[in-house]
Structure 1
């Protein structure tokens, strides 16, 4: 398990409480692990931040369609600190808008299957390394080839030269 920067616990008492707000969704451990794994796939340089351009890709894989001007507004809303990047906390805030908390792991499995199928256009059951690299390069065009190869090596656990759904699932759902 990699080292992550320790964040201080949220001190709820120090923040004003709006009693008119509805209860915010709370993700279970599996969902949080899945969201973290997805975020980490886009955080290729491991800074704890991803470029804002991942937002359209993320939403598209979730089946969310949005006008360009609405997307621009959403990106400004999500980038609460104005950094030009999205950190994990901002990513979770984005997820709350589109992903309902779900206790059923089968639902997560089904959603990840749908995401995989979006990329597996020929319905082969796997992604060629070239297809996978093209997806990563589209998301992170500045990524050096050496780091891209390291990402591929990590995801292609069996070294087959293909990203099978099971490997994709293991990475995205946090399995081993």
Structure 2
């Protein structure tokens, strides 16, 4: 309810043609011997080049299976789809972190009901206090009166899947 009702989902999370060209360029660089596909080691290097971290074995296996690669490796088309999904997820995570930080006006690392009330009054001034309290309770998963970033991110991802 909360995330779907107040978070603007814009085009900022879209992967651009420029991103896709960069993905294709990295694919070419990592495709040793121009074989037309990336094996798991090639894919690890490509993710490092694009996202700045070495993916786990499990993450690589997941990407390979999700891309429905051929028996020898991941094709360019599969790579483009996989990296586009990964890039959109990174952009969404960054956006969620920025929203949480904006709501956390006291820099405590968690949100209180008062933080929610303040944010809602700024964003949705006509939203009733009862609805704000309900939204807070929905996001405060452990009912401790604090919404951690993890709770917030989970609520945002729930709203994102409904959008």
TM-score of the pair, normalised by structure 1: 0.43
| Structure that is richer in strand per residue | 1
| Structure that is richer in helix per residue | 2
- The structure with the larger Rg is 2
